[in-house]
């Protein structure tokens, strides 16, 4: 150990030590694993031991995380993992932006806030634009944050109702062969939207709003022919809309309304020969100033760490496959 490079960091607030190490030292183990250093407490301060390059990276990380904790943010496996990613990408100065303002507090007192820079930009787009496209892989919070912003606008009396919609059954909306009544047929496809609303509002308040028509959850086909004023409208799984369905949806919202379109263009389930309405809209509307496009990536995945690795592995595989196809041509 004597031959290793060492760096001592003075800790003024001892609560930071608890945040940094985490439950059963899970946070600090993650830092040590990724940066290949040893981190120990010594006389109330932090000592980083290892090769000089890695130790200096660790110093930058801990100093930035101290700023985050000073802004009353808790350190978790997720945000420490994200901070390490920023550090290794040479963007350590962005780590402080992990300390975000709470955008909403659920009925159970759970604060909701953006957890990544991509999510922060997504929220800013929603706040500043009447129509926002949130495009990115699973686990990036596209739908959950959209529903949160819808509930916030509703509670602030900025809109009179919330309308959530999805293309059902891989965008074909062929529900006739399924058993049960209409609700039984479409509920499985709308379940992720229900789950987000239950978490944010609580089941009792959600049921009350549904019964009064203040919240509507419906398959996309039911949007046809309507004009939706003073509403917050969310189209989820938009990669599975056709061009015609997307145009139909985008021409529904009226005065005093706000719309969010979310989707993952890497998971298109449309039949062969059908083009994704989301990809088409991206091309058609990219130069319309009043429309916001927010792109989330694997770095914005806030689920289990393994999900982030799975998204990255698929992205790398797709890139290699495309390169092989180009070589064969």
**How many angstroms separate the CA atoms of 60 and 244, rounded?**
51
* Confidence category of residue 12, pLDDT binned at 50, 70, 90: confident
pLDDT at 182 over 70: no
**How many angstroms separate the CA atoms of 249 and 233, rounded?**
10
Q: Which residue spans within 69-185 are E strands per DSSP?
A: 104-105, 111-112, 131-135, 161-166
* Confidence category of residue 171, pLDDT binned at 50, 70, 90: very low
Contact call for residues 277 and 242 (beta carbons, < 8 A): yes
- Percent of all residues in the chain with a pLDDT value above 90, rounded to a whole number: 47
Residue 181 makes CB contacts below 8 A (sequence gap 6+) with: none
pLDDT at 277 over 80: yes
The angle subtended at Cα 300 by Cα 294 and Cα 303, nearest 5°, is 130
Q: Does domain 104-321 have CATH number 3.40.50.300?
A: yes
**How many angstroms separate the CA atoms of 242 and 67, rounded?**
46
Tokens of 154: 């509703």
Q: Does domain 5-98 have CATH number 1.10.3720.10?
A: no
* Domain positions in the chain: 5-98, 104-321
Closest by alpha carbon to 91, among 68, 59, 113, 60? 60
Phi, psi angle pair for 161, to nearest 5°: -155, 165
Pairing of strands 215-219, 161-166: parallel
Closest by alpha carbon to 172, among 241, 96, 77? 241
Maximum CA pair distance of the chain? 75
Q: Does the pTM exceed 0.85?
A: no
Question: Collapsing DSSP states into helix, strand and coil, what is residue 188?
Answer: helix
Model pLDDT, residue 173: 45
The model's pLDDT over 208-267, given as tens digits with 9 standing for 90+, comes to 998 999 999 888 888 888 888 999 999 999 999 999 999 999 998 889 999 999 999 988
Model pLDDT, residue 184: 57
Q: What is the mean pLDDT of the chain?
A: 86
Question: Collapsing DSSP states into helix, strand and coil, what is residue 268?
Answer: coil
Question: What sign has the CA pseudo-torsion 270, 275, 279, 282?
Answer: negative
**How many angstroms separate the CA atoms of 234 and 147, rounded?**
8
């Amino acid at each position: 150990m004597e031959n290793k490079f060492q760096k001592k960091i003075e800790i003024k607030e001892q609560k930071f030590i608890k945040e940094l190490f985490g439950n059963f030292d899970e946070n600090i183990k993650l830092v040590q694993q990724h940066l290949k250093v040893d981190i120990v407490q010594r006389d109330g301060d932090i000592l980083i031991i290892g090769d000089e390059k890695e130790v200096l990276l660790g110093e930058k990380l801990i100093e930035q995380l101290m700023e985050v904790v000073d802004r009353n943010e808790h350190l978790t496996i997720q945000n420490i993992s994200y901070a390490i990613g920023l550090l290794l990408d040479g963007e350590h100065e962005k780590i402080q932006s992990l300390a975000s303002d709470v955008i909403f507090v659920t009925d159970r007192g759970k604060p909701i806030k953006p957890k990544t820079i991509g999510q922060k930009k997504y929220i800013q787009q929603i706040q500043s634009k009447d129509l926002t496209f949130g495009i990115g892989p699973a686990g990036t919070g596209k739908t959950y944050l959209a529903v949160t912003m819808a509930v916030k606008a509703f509670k602030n009396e900025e809109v009179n109702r919330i309308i959530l919609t999805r293309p059902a059954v891989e965008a074909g909306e062929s529900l006739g062969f399924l058993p049960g009544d209409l609700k039984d047929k479409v509920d499985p496809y709308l379940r992720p939207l229900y789950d987000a609303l239950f978490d944010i509002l609580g089941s009792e308040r959600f049921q009350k709003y549904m019964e009064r028509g203040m919240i509507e959850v419906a398959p996309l086909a039911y949007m046809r022919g309507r004009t939706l004023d003073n509403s917050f409208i969310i189209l989820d799984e938009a990669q599975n809309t056709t061009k015609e369905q997307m145009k139909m949806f985008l021409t529904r919202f009226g005065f005093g309304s706000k719309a969010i379109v979310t989707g993952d263009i890497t998971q298109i389930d449309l039949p062969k020969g059908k083009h994704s309405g989301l990809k088409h809209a991206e091309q058609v509307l990219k130069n319309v100033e009043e429309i916001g496009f927010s792109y989330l990536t694997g770095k914005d995945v806030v689920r289990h760490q393994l999900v982030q690795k799975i998204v990255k592995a698929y992205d790398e595989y797709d890139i290699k496959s495309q390169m092989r196809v180009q070589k064969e041509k």
